[in-house]
Amino acid sequence: MQAVLNTSAAPSAPARKGKGAGFLLLSPAVFILLVWSIVPLVMTLWYSLQNYNLVDPTLHGFAGINNYWYLLTDPDFLQSLLNTLLLVAGVLVISVGGGTLLAVLYDQDFFGRGIARVLVISPFFVMPTVSALLWKNLMLHPIYGVYSAMMRAVGLTPIDWLSQYPLATVMMIVSWEWLPFAVLILLTAVQSLDGEQKEAARMDGAGPIARFRYIILPHLSRAISVVVMIETIYLLTIFAEISVTTAGGPGVASSNLAFLIYSRALLQFDVGGASAGGVIAIVIANIVAAFLVRAVARNLEV
């Protein structure tokens, strides 16, 4: 196992002379990312303090914290915030937990393993709008859906999943998209595990559960960090799946913050309100990111 390296002391990277060149090569990317992250942010902050509605030009001027107050006192806001965190946590648990188990499963040798693997990772390549439509119409539709037909076949009454359990169903659809990603990464990690080590443990009398707990799981910790980090980035801002399946409803039962801001403020052309929501979303994302990046980066080779 290669030691986790520190950039400052990386043996493979002796500092070349000429800091100027390094700076020169790095600066275009840094500059463009700086502009990209600061200009819209400052504009959002500015708009969030204004009364600014695209369809009502009579309403203008400084709003102070009114836009924020309006949003933060909205009970829907708290519900959406909770939904956002539930979605991230739920999908992470399902995809990392399931991904780990499936990675161990697909590490076993069996007939047609290569094809089975390709089938399992396929959903990752399907665009979110399509997966949402697929599940909503072809799979879970209460009358024509395949799942409903199966339930009827065994004598059960089909469930209208998206209206009865909207958040859980969206969570399931999103998990279907991200579980393959976890499998893809974790399977590679499991395969890189030294076979001899597993054999030695077996010789010493370790059962399958002990081998999983004390050999496979520790070996996977870095790969799991990668999965958690990348997935969180995307899960915080789930949009297409919600927009296509439930449009956030019923009520705000399946709205996350991104979708609430979009539907409340933007569809009403309320630039001020949308911007205030945007600022709040950015603050929350940064809180999550601060925890996450620090926790995960320690596990990455930086």
Partner 1 sequence: MAFKVNCGKQIAVTLLGWGVALWVFFPIFWMFLTGFKSEVQAVSTPPQLFFKPTLSSYAEVFERANYWHFTINTVLVSVIATGVALALAVPAAYSMAFMPSKRTRSTLLWMLSTRMLPSVGVLVPIYLLARNAHLLDTVLGLAIVDMLTNLPIVIWMLFTFFREVPAPILEAGRMDGASRWQEMTMVLLPLALPGIASTALLSLILCWNEAFWSLNLTSSNAAPLTAFIASFSSPEGLFFGKLSAASTLAVAPILVFGWFSQKQLVRGLTFGAVK
Residue numbers 95-124 binding partner 1 by CB under 8 A:
102, 105-106, 108, 110-113, 115-124
DSSP-based three-state secondary structure for 60 = strand
In this complex, which beta carbon is closest to partner 1, that of residue 51 or of residue 275? 275
Nearest to 120 by CA among 179, 62, 163, 165: 179
176 near partner 1, rule: CB under 8 A: yes
- Inter-helix orientation angle 217-235/75-107, to 10°: 140
Q: How far apart are CA 302 and CA 10, in angstroms?
A: 9
Q: How far is the CB of 123 from partner 1 (least distance, A)?
A: 6
Closest CB to partner 1 among residues 61, 153: 153
Give 40 or 251: the residue with its C-beta nearer to partner 1.
40
**Residue 13 engages partner 1 in binding (rule: CB under 8 A):** yes
163 vs 225 by CB, closer to partner 1: 225
Under rule CB under 8 A, residue 44 binds partner 1:
yes
Minimum Å gap between C-beta 155 and partner 1 is: 13
Nearer to partner 1 (CB atom), residue 170 or residue 257: 257
Residue with tokens 């700076």: 23
Region binding partner 1 by CB under 8 A among candidate stretches 65-73, 75-83, 159-167, 293-301: 293-301
Binding of residue 22 to partner 1 (CB under 8 A): yes
User: Can you give 226-290 as a three-state secondary structure string?
Assistant: HHHHHHHHHHCCCCHHHHHHCCCCCCCCCCCHHHHHHHHHHCCCEHHHHHHHHHHHHHHHHHHHH
Could you say whether residue 282 binds partner 1 (CB under 8 A)?
yes
Q: Show the beta-strand stretches assigned E in 13-119.
A: 50-52, 60-62
Q: What are 59's strand-pairing partners?
A: none
Q: How far is 221 from 295, CA to CA, in rounded Å?
A: 12
Pairwise CA distance, residues 288 & 298, whole Å: 16
Residues 217-276 interacting with partner 1 (rule: CB under 8 A): 222-223, 225-226, 230, 233, 236-237, 239-240, 244, 257-259, 261-262, 266, 271, 274-275
What is the closest distance, in whole angstroms, from the C-beta atom of residue 40 to partner 1 in the complex? 4
